[in-house]
Amino acid sequence: MFHTLRRPEVLFVTLAAAGILAITMGARQSLGLFVSPLNTATGLGIASISLALAIGQFTWGAIQPIAGAAADRYGPRAVLIAGILCLAIGSAITPFMDSTFGLIISLGLLSAIGSGAGSFSVLIGAAAQRLPPEARGAASGVINAGGSFGQFVFAPVLQKLIQVFGWMGAMWSMALMTLAALPLIGKVSKNGGAPAVHHDTDTGAMAAIRGALQDRSYLLLHAGFFTCGFHIAFLVTHLPGEVDLCGLPPSVASWSLAIIGLANIFGSLYAGSCVARYRSKNVLAAMYGSRALLVAAYLALPKTEWTFYVFAAGLGFTWLATVPPTAAIVGKLFGVRYLATLFGLTLLSHQIGGFLGAWLGGLSITLTGDYTWMWYADIVLAGLAALVNLPIREAPVVRAPAPA
């Protein structure tokens, strides 16, 4: 499968996109480490901080179709530059915010818009425009693995920076680290080389969106991805709090997040290879079903360090490995001309779930003192997500040409 990436021009585009995603996702997926220090420093309460991060989850999804549409129309270069700078600014000003509204501005809007503009929809869409069809599945797996590698690196590094320099120093350090993505942008933009020639029917962006929203398989894909967002946002935001409730040190949370990222590198690469070998809908159903079983097993086991590490490894294998088969289904249904836009809308559904996962987790710990009901909800939603993916068809949608 991965022999399709051996051509230098294909490999450079893929690795550059993976590197950008490593930085934007590494920064975004490690924000849960700052919840407790922020609460201690500001006294705002977990629920208020969770609300800001929940708004960030939604904003990250809401910007995806907008950034994707801008990249489809004007090219990814300007979108990616603006996103990286916005992410750095949002991180840099967070230490100056001492109110819920301030955190909503810095983390809920600026950082989320920046990381969203430099995330899946723009990067996978830009790569698909420049890669031959036989390389897209493997490339999406490698790009997705880049995001997981970023989480693997950022989580323990930021935890150490918090211990050494305090949470403010760690946040400023993260702002500087995000700027390392800027030199990679040229490799995934059209200025970095000629895009591959494709022959998808161009009906116009709005016609493509209208047609997609009338397609049953596309809507079922959204429903499953909604659950994926709920699951990931709940864990990435509140896993450190769950670790604390179990009386374990913060290092267990940071290493658990790092293990999730490491395991998802392998999961993403495997998912990318599965796209060419199996029906993507079956791959997604198996991933969501495994999550329900893993959460149920976690609730039944004693809460030790190794329980968290094994739980993290199991979840990490499917963590964001849902992205390659989801993007593959969108590409199969509608082609790649507006893949960034249409996949961006799918990511918006993902982050509506993300908003609820992060926010309701904060309400749960505030009102009940633990996350028990969130774990139960996660099991039910994961099971439903597995079921709704099974009726999806993967044949291309026949579209009428746009009127002259």
Q: What is the pLDDT of residues 14-50, one digit of tens each?
A: 888 889 999 998 888 888 888 888 888 888 888 888 8
Count of C-beta atoms within a 10 Å radius of residue 71: 26
pLDDT digits (tens, 9 = 90+) for 306-364: 999 999 999 888 887 888 888 888 888 887 777 777 887 888 888 889 889 888 988 88
Of 4, 42, 53, give the one whose Cα is nearest residue 240.
53
Query: Hunting for tokens 């022999």 — which residue is that?
Result: 3
List of domains in the chain: 2-193+203-389 (1.20.1250.20)
**Cβ atoms of residues 282 and 336 within 8 Å:** no
Give the angle subtended at the CA of 88 by the CAs of 84 and 90, to the nearest 5°: 115
**Cβ atoms of residues 39 and 46 within 8 Å:** yes
80 pLDDT higher than 80: yes
**pTM exceeds 0.75 for this model:** no
**In this prediction, what percent of the chain has a pLDDT beyond 70?**
90
**Token pair in block for residue 352:** 């509506």
Give CA separation, 235 vs 1, 20, 162, 366, in Å: 32, 23, 20, 16
What end-to-end distance do the CA atoms of the chain give, in Å? 41
**Cβ atoms of residues 261 and 23 within 8 Å:** no
Query: Hunting for tokens 């970023």 — which residue is that?
Result: 150
Average pLDDT over every residue of 129-135: 70
pLDDT-derived band of residue 192, with 50, 70 and 90 as boundaries?
Answer: very low
**Token pair in block for residue 169:** 């120093």
Cβ burial 166-200 (10 Å sphere, 16+ → b, else e): ebbebbbbbbebbeebeebbebbbeebeebbeeee
Exposed/middle/buried for residue 75 (C-beta within 10 Å: 0-12, 13-18, 19+) = middle
**Residue 256 to residue 316: CA distance in whole angstroms:** 9
User: Which ranges of 43-198 does DSSP label H, i.e. alpha helix?
Assistant: 46-74, 76-93, 100-103, 112-117, 120-130, 133-178, 185-188
